[in-house]
Chain A
């Protein structure tokens, strides 16, 4: 069965696929941490482009928007926490590079063997006229449980992230037994318990 993708779409998917892998490799090759972040963004935008060519318009747009914002935040974290954010001097910060490369290449080889040895099913499939509508109806219908669990997980993430990132919690203010009469605030006047 000939592919449902047009010749242009196949060419675009091929170029974007190569671009995504090349950008992914560049993440761990370039010296500058800011450049590494933008290389990762390039990789994700290429993946979003492939999704777009595969008719998954909504997921492609969500991926592109989410990753652009995420990488913009990540650049800030890179500048805060990395000792060489601008890459002004060449440096590598790796441990067990050889073992990691063997494991990464091994995972790739195992996956590729499976991909090329499996006899993939070829059948005449009926495409939905609108993939976004199909996803929306699944979220609000047959796959609602997935969305319920996702919602709970995201809410738990908000709480846990806030708790972890808070500089001074109630134990810092009222002691380990929470029994201090006055909160130990750097500037007095904080709210009592």
Chain B
């Protein structure tokens, strides 16, 4: 197999993760399940970053830094998501996104 083909296959897997995660983030009603969809999207970014480093520019650390940033975004999203979930549930027992439409125009 040529390295270009392997790269394309890996990026296709990453695109599938992004697509599935996008579906989940848009369709789920539970706040925690929405967060799981976003995590899947970020998992796709991790995979694409790793593949880009290995096949395109392993002599540079930039793609590795991108993976590190994606990992940090995951951690921040998770921490803030749980904090918001607790806050809104404590305030008015809301655990679904459909019940928290205060900011909808």
Contacts and interface: CB of A to CB of B under 8 A. Distances in A.
Determine chain B's interface SS by DSSP, over half rule: helix
Contacts of A111: 11, 14-15, 18-19
Determine chain A's interface SS by DSSP, over half rule: helix
Interface string B19-62: 11111101111111101110110010011001101111111011
A120 B19 contact: no
Contacts of B5: 3
B90 A167 contact: yes
Interface string A106-133: 0110011001100011100111100100
Interface string A88-120: 000001111101110111011001100110001
Given A66-B71, A95-B98, A17 B10 contact: yes
A15 B89 CA distance: 40
B87 A165 contact: yes
Most A-side CB within 10 Å, residue of B23, B47, B78, B82: B23
B103 interface: no
User: Could you say which interface size class chain A belongs to?
Assistant: 35 or more
A116 B8 contact: yes
Interface of B: 1-24, 26-33, 35-37, 39-40, 43, 46-47, 50-51, 53-59, 61-62, 64-65, 67-69, 71-72, 74-76, 78-80, 82-87, 89-90, 95-96, 98
